[in-house]
């Protein structure tokens, strides 16, 4: 791009006057430069960093990378893209499993938001204003240090608050405190026609409904407003190992965990079943001390023959660090951690005997035998005491509140290695073997934040947004009729 700058200077072309662009990349670069939108130079160190997605299996080449530091620059970048017929996507933490922050395909304008990461807590109201490019670890760090506060969200410090809270946001606080999007009280959004608007329950309420579940398709959030809670003084994180070495033991164990999740699990306990080829754990976070955890979990541990391998009582940041898996908490630009993987997901209600049997049978007879490096994480998302299920299903566009389980299926290879066909099959067969025994498609769904990027757009929309899809498509038509913010699994405008 730099090489072409003198040519543009010579011709003095205004962006709007370029009838036939030399090519899109050059026209875009010129338009962004005319509006003084900062960009990454092609091939520069910042370009290399910003173009590298968390999932190295899915690399895409943008037609340009804008790096705004103000909402006005986001508006100007959207104007350039729309004018030139280029698709545009916000990228926040770059942690989409489908690399949707890069557009999920080549040739989009990436609007790299991660330089916009200011977090300010209003101590008097408890409302945090969080810029649209912040990463979760930075948000947690700032809220804790500015006022001993937090909101509920997932665990990886590098994940962006953008992708995370606009599509759900489930973590080790969610059974107690709900999803990240349940804490959002307002947002400032740049729409496809470059208008900037606020939305909340009382202002542009349709847009506010839509961004809490499908935000990536509706606009670019430059600033979020989240309510917060005062963090508990004491939390206890734990790992319990369960000896499920045979299919029969796993089936019996899963039934016990399911009964517990449905009937007994207190709101203060957050727990998942974590399954690999080599071991199975129950792990999570308890809002309270060790004695409280032992009272809540002890009976289940006894019945399942589980043993506590780790039980640590500490303060709020201790658990944030623990679940950050060794990555330091306060993450912002530059960020440079990656994996090479394929994933899929599933939400279901409690599984009956046949369905549990199908899952456990596939797990032991096929998946375990293939010796690949996969894991399955089963979050106990719902159940009668879960804060996730408390709001009405239709209160936000997140369609899958009422399901008991949130499964994540994940298969990875060593960094840089090619991803083999049997890795795809291993993951897909988990999903098909479980869903084969579920009669109605409305009795399961999938999570856009744990997407299966190999689904086509129609299947993806139905699976991620279920019964909320028609309303989302109508809102999409109102705010982005030309699908400027397109990506291969996004919401399409109503016909
Ligand atoms: C290591 C790891 C751990 C994870 N842990 C959890 C977890 O505990 N719980 C959980 O629920 N999920 C988890 N996830 C999934 C994560 O929530 C999603 O991948 C999320 O979409 C990532 O957001 P991002 O901003 O980092 O991604 P990006 O790739 O930057 O963006 C994802 C999508 O959001 C859009 N977007 C981003 N910012 C904005 C914005 N400001 N305005 C409008 N659209 C925007 C992008 O265009 C894209 O479509 C994890 C992912 C990884 C890789
Ligand atoms: C906010 O409140 C916390 C304690 O609740 C205090 O430590 C901090 O100094 C306050 N910050 C500001 C900016 O007032
Ligand atoms: C949106 O709300 C914020 C915070 O209340 C305010 O500062 C800003 O001016 C508003 N912007 C628009 C476009 O209304
Ligand atoms: C727990 O161990 C006992 C004694 O070995 C065994 O009878 C029981 O089946 C086990 N239960 C589970 C769920 O593994
Ligand atoms: C959940 O259900 C069980 C029994 O079905 C009941 O004992 C418990 O009180 C319920 N909890 C809540 C929060 O409703
Ligand atoms: C279940 O998994 C097996 C592989 O073990 C696969 O051959 C089969 O097609 C799957 N069943 C369904 C219903 O998808
Ligand atoms: C399990 O549920 C499926 C789908 O609703 C149903 O067809 C099947 O008969 C049920 N099996 C058992 C054992 O209840
Ligand atoms: C931009 O789009 C919004 C949403 O459809 C609409 O309300 C607004 O009037 C549009 N602004 C302009 C300048 O066209």
Q: Which residue owns the Cα nearest ligand 8 atom 3?
A: 479
Rounded Cα distance between 458 and 460, Å, is 5
Q: What's the rounded mean pLDDT across residues 163-187?
A: 98
Contacts of 361 (CB under 8 A, 6+ apart): 247, 433
Rounded (10°) CA dihedral 414, 419, 425, 430: 40
Going by C-alpha positions, the residue among 216, 222, 217, 223 that lies closest to residue 478 is 217
Query: Is 91 a pocket residue for ligand 1 (Cβ < 6 Å)?
Result: yes
What separation in Å is there between the alpha carbon of 73 and the centre of ligand 1? Answer: 22
Query: What is the reported pLDDT for 4?
Result: 34
- Confidence check: pLDDT of 120 > 50: yes
Q: Which residue owns the Cα nearest ligand 4 atom 4?
A: 305
Q: Which two tokens stand for residue 8?
A: 């543009």
> Angle CA(289)–CA(384)–CA(344) in degrees, nearest 5?
90
Rounded Cα distance between 343 and 424, Å, is 8
Q: What's the rounded mean pLDDT across residues 395-419?
A: 92
Q: Which two tokens stand for residue 70?
A: 């103000």
Confidence grade of residue 125 (pLDDT, cut at 50, 70, 90): very high
Q: Locate the DSSP E strands across 166-279.
A: 184-190, 196-199, 220-227, 229-230, 235-242, 269-276
- Measured from the alpha carbon of residue 142, the closest ligand is 2
SS percent in the chain: helix, strand, coil, step 5: 40, 20, 40
Query: What is the reported pLDDT for 416?
Result: 65
Rounded Cα distance between 295 and 307, Å, is 14
Query: Mind listing the pLDDT tens digit for each residue in 227-278?
Result: 999 999 999 999 999 999 999 999 999 999 999 999 999 999 999 999 999 9
Going by C-alpha positions, the residue among 166, 152, 159, 147 that lies closest to residue 222 is 166
Confidence grade of residue 10 (pLDDT, cut at 50, 70, 90): very low
- Confidence check: pLDDT of 19 > 90: no
Buried b (16+ CB within 10 A) or exposed e, 217-233: bbbbbbbbbbebbebbe
Confidence grade of residue 9 (pLDDT, cut at 50, 70, 90): very low
What separation in Å is there between the alpha carbon of 9 and the centre of ligand 6? Answer: 61
Confidence grade of residue 22 (pLDDT, cut at 50, 70, 90): low
Query: What is the reported pLDDT for 20?
Result: 46
Rounded Cα distance between 283 and 440, Å, is 31
Query: Mind listing the pLDDT tens digit for each residue in 341-359?
Result: 999 999 999 999 999 999 9
- Considering just the CA atoms, what is the radius of gyration of the chain in Å? 23
Q: What's the rounded mean pLDDT across residues 366-388?
A: 95
> Model pTM?
0.94
Q: Which two tokens stand for residue 52?
A: 């590298």
**Using the 8-state DSSP alphabet, how is residue 12 labeled?**
T
From 446, 449, 457, mutation site for ligand 1 pocket: most ligand atoms within 8 A of C-beta:
449
Contacts of 432 (CB under 8 A, 6+ apart): none
Paired with 412 in beta bridges are 341
Query: Mind listing the pLDDT tens digit for each residue in 317-345?
Result: 999 999 998 899 999 999 999 999 999 99
Query: Is 147 a pocket residue for ligand 2 (Cβ < 6 Å)?
Result: yes
Within 6 A (CB) of ligand 5 lie 263, 384-385
Q: Please report, rounded to a whole number, the percentage of residues in the chain having pLDDT higher than 70.
A: 95
Alpha carbon separation from 209 to 71, 184, 199, 301, 401 (Å, rounded): 22, 11, 9, 40, 14
Query: Mind listing the pLDDT tens digit for each residue in 282-297?
Result: 999 999 999 999 999 9
What separation in Å is there between the alpha carbon of 118 and the centre of ligand 4? Answer: 52
- Confidence check: pLDDT of 441 > 60: yes
- Measured from the alpha carbon of residue 350, the closest ligand is 7
- Measured from the alpha carbon of residue 438, the closest ligand is 7
What separation in Å is there between the alpha carbon of 434 and the centre of ligand 6? Answer: 9
Query: What is the reported pLDDT for 394?
Result: 98
Measured from the Cα of 162, ligand 1's closest atom is 38
From 374, 409, 432, 439, mutation site for ligand 6 pocket: most ligand atoms within 8 A of C-beta:
432
Query: What is the reported pLDDT for 390?
Result: 98
Query: What is the reported pLDDT for 326?
Result: 87
Give the other-Cβ count within 10 Å of 71's Cβ: 18
Q: What's the rounded mean pLDDT across residues 115-125?
A: 98
What separation in Å is there between the alpha carbon of 98 and the centre of ligand 1? Answer: 10
User: How many C-alpha atoms does 70 have within 13 Å on its Cβ side?
Assistant: 7
Q: Which residue owns the Cα nearest ligand 5 atom 5?
A: 263
- Confidence check: pLDDT of 17 > 90: no
Q: Which residue owns the Cα nearest ligand 7 atom 9?
A: 354
Paired with 285 in beta bridges are 237, 270
From 159, 166, 180, mutation site for ligand 1 pocket: most ligand atoms within 8 A of C-beta:
159
Alpha carbon separation from 32 to 45, 65, 145, 190 (Å, rounded): 19, 10, 37, 16
Q: Select the more confidently predicted residue: 325 or 380.
A: 380
Query: What is the reported pLDDT for 56?
Result: 94
From 383, 384, 389, 404, mutation site for ligand 5 pocket: most ligand atoms within 8 A of C-beta:
384
Rounded Cα distance between 481 and 478, Å, is 6
């Amino acid at each position: 791009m730099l090489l072409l700058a003198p040519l543009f200077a010579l011709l003095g072309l205004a962006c709007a006057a370029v009838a036939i662009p030399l090519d899109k990349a050059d026209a875009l670069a010129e338009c962004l430069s005319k509006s003084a939108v900062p960009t990454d130079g092609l091939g520069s160190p910042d370009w290399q960093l910003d173009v590298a997605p968390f999932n190295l299996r899915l690399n895409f080449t943008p037609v340009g990378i804008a790096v705004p530091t103000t909402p006005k620059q986001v508006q100007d970048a959207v104007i350039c893209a729309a004018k030139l017929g280029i698709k545009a996507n916000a990228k926040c933490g770059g942690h989409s499993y489908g690399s949707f922050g890069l557009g999920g395909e080549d040739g989009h304008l990436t609007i790299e938001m991660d330089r916009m990461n200011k977090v300010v807590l209003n101590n008097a109201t408890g409302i945090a204003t969080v810029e649209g490019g912040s990463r979760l670890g930075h948000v947690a760090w700032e809220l804790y240090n500015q006022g001993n506060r937090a909101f509920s969200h997932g665990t990886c410090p590098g994940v962006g608050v953008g992708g995370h809270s606009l599509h759900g946001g489930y973590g080790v606080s969610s059974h107690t405190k709900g999803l990240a999007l349940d804490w959002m009280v307002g947002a400032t959004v740049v729409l496809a026609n470059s208008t900037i608007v606020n939305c909340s329950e009382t202002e542009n309420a349709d847009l506010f409904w839509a961004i809490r579940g499908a935000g990536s398709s509706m606009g670019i959030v430059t600033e979020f407003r989240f309510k917060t809670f005062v963090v508990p003084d004491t939390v206890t994180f734990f790992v319990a190992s369960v000896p499920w070495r045979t299919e029969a033991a796993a089936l019996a164990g899963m039934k016990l965990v399911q009964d517990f999740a449905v009937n007994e699990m207190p709101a203060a306990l957050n727990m998942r079943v974590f399954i690999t080829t080599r071991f199975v754990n129950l792990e999570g976070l308890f809002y309270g001390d060790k004695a409280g955890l032992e009272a809540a979990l002890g009976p289940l541990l006894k019945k399942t023959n589980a043993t506590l391998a780790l039980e640590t009582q500490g303060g709020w940041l201790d658990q944030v660090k623990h679940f950050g898996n060794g990555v330091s908490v306060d993450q912002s630009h530059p960020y440079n951690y990656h994996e090479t993987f394929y994933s899929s997901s599933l939400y279901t209600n409690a599984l009956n005997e046949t369905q549990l049997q199908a899952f456990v049978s596939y797990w032991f007879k096929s998946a375990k035998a293939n010796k690949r490096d996969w894991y399955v994480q089963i979050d106990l998302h719902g159940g009668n005491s879960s804060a996730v299920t408390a709001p009405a299903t239709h209160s936000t566009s997140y369609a899958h509140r009422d399901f008991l389980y949130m499964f994540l299926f994940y298969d990875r290879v060593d960094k840089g290695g090619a991803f083999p066909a049997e890795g795809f099959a291993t993951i897909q067969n988990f999903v098909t073997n479980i869903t084969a025994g579920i009669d109605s498609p409305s009795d399961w769904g999938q999570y856009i934040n744990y997407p299966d990027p190999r689904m086509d757009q129609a299947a993806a929309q139905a699976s991620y947004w279920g019964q909320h899809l028609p309303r989302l498509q109508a809102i999409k038509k109102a705010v982005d009729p030309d699908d400027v913010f397109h990506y291969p699994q996004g919401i399409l405008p109503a016909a």
